[in-house]
Amino acid sequence: MSDTHAQSVAFVRDTMLPEQAPPVSEAGVVKWMRENLFPGPVNALLTILAIYFVYKIVAGALPWFWNGVWTTSSLAECREVLNGATGGCFSVLTERWNQLLFGFKYPSEQYWRPLSAFILLVVAVAPVLFFSLPRKMLIFTGLYPFLAYWLIWGGTILAPLFGLIGLVVAFMVFRRVEGRGFATAALAGLVTAVVVWWLGGLLAAALPGALALDPVPSRDMGGFMLNMILGTVCVSLSLPIGILLALGRQSHMPIIKWICVVFIEFIRGVPLITLLFVANVVLSYFFPPETNLDLIIRVIIMITAFASAYIAEVIRGGLAALPRGQYEAADSLGLDYAQSMRLIILPQALKISIPGIVNVAVGLFKDTTLVSVISMFDLVGMIRGPILASTEWNGVYWELWGFAVVTFFVVCYGISQYSQWLERQLQRDHH
């Protein structure tokens, strides 16, 4: 600063003012509240109303949780302990915990079997869900269905073992004969598998004690375990079947196309509960009284058929969304049908279809509770039937249904979070 104008200018600031804190109303919590909660009279009113309702709900629900009784052995005792105070009777969950998880007939000393099957399920599914895991883990995923069957249903290990061997041998035969045409190879593979299974059946029947676990009949499955079994099996079966149906529906071969169209349209036009009633009631008229096909298998077939029809339509949407140029590009590279689908079309179509597929999977998992209507004791069936009908727990509702809600929410929310993560992972465009 020079002195040139020292006389003509009254005051010259020669230092910076220190930085001031912003006004209270423009910073921090107050600003956030002003902008988000009370920007105007109407919104302020709504906010206050909302806070009031939240308070009411919390004030009502908190003592109910806080005073909850966990150790009594009947509802009457609960009421005695509470003595008129508000409180949940969570004893029903502790006393019937195993029944809620495993149903009331699964032998209690064998609970470790479904439990370890569940833990192994996590290991088996992990490499499918997360691509960064070592690919060798997929070997275990392939073995898992047979292992889980052996763990949950018990019996000799020979039965699932030969099921596996049959598939492996059939695949090897298929690869060997593949050069002579797809149909011949598929037929040869099928024949081999049937022969191996037949031999395995004979052997398993002859040696029922080989590495055997106590067999548990399907009728004894129940609780959340049944929902998990139905959900996992049906989702994993319906995905490949759905892909085949979607491709079949686009096929140029009229018979295949019509079979797929009729199947999809028929199944989609029928409510799931009707299919379940058919599985339970009507199918048994077509079998001789003694040869009853397992009820779980009948139900799995029906739910899988239902889910695959929906997944097929979702994937068809994905296929239709691909530009025609992609198909032509595949053709111009000289790829045959199977190669072009596997390498070019499906990876893109499936990526587009992920939200839809997950939607179907979540819906399907929740729909497994419908089996309670055909007197199977899944989680909902256990609550509706045996637990609420017992003399001790007749009249406990909120606690049981709340438990069911939380259990299903955890699983379904997990699935949906995973799918969002997956979509971000597969993002290839840069917006």
Partner 1 sequence: MKKSVFFGALTVAGLTAGAAAAATLDDVKARGQLNCGVTTGLVGFAAPDANGNWEGFDVGVCRAVAAAVLGDASAVEFVPTTGKTRFTALASGEVDMLARNTTWTFSRDVDLKFEFTGINYYDGQGFMVPKALGVSSAKELDGATVCIQTGTTTELNLADYFRSNNISYEPVPIETNSEAQPLYLEGACDVYTTDASGLAATRAAFENPGDHVILPEIISKEPLGPLVRHGDNNWGDVVRWTLNALVAAEELGVTSANIDELANGTNNPEVNRLLGTEGTLGEMLGLDSDWAMRAIKAGGNYGELFEKNIGENTPIGLARGLNAQWTDGGLLYSPPFR
Least Å distance, CB 368 to partner 1, is: 17
C-beta closer to partner 1: residue 222 or 318:
222
Least Å distance, CB 294 to partner 1, is: 12
C-beta closer to partner 1: residue 150 or 377:
377
C-beta closer to partner 1: residue 303 or 383:
383
Least Å distance, CB 317 to partner 1, is: 36
Least Å distance, CB 378 to partner 1, is: 12
C-beta closer to partner 1: residue 112 or 286:
286
Which residues in this chain contact partner 1 in the complex, by CB under 8 A?
75-76, 79, 95-96, 99, 104-105, 108, 219, 280-282, 284-290, 292, 373-375, 377, 381, 384-391, 394-395, 397
C-beta closer to partner 1: residue 261 or 281:
281
Least Å distance, CB 223 to partner 1, is: 11
CA distance linking residue 266 with residue 260, whole number of Å: 10
C-beta closer to partner 1: residue 332 or 391:
391
Least Å distance, CB 411 to partner 1, is: 24
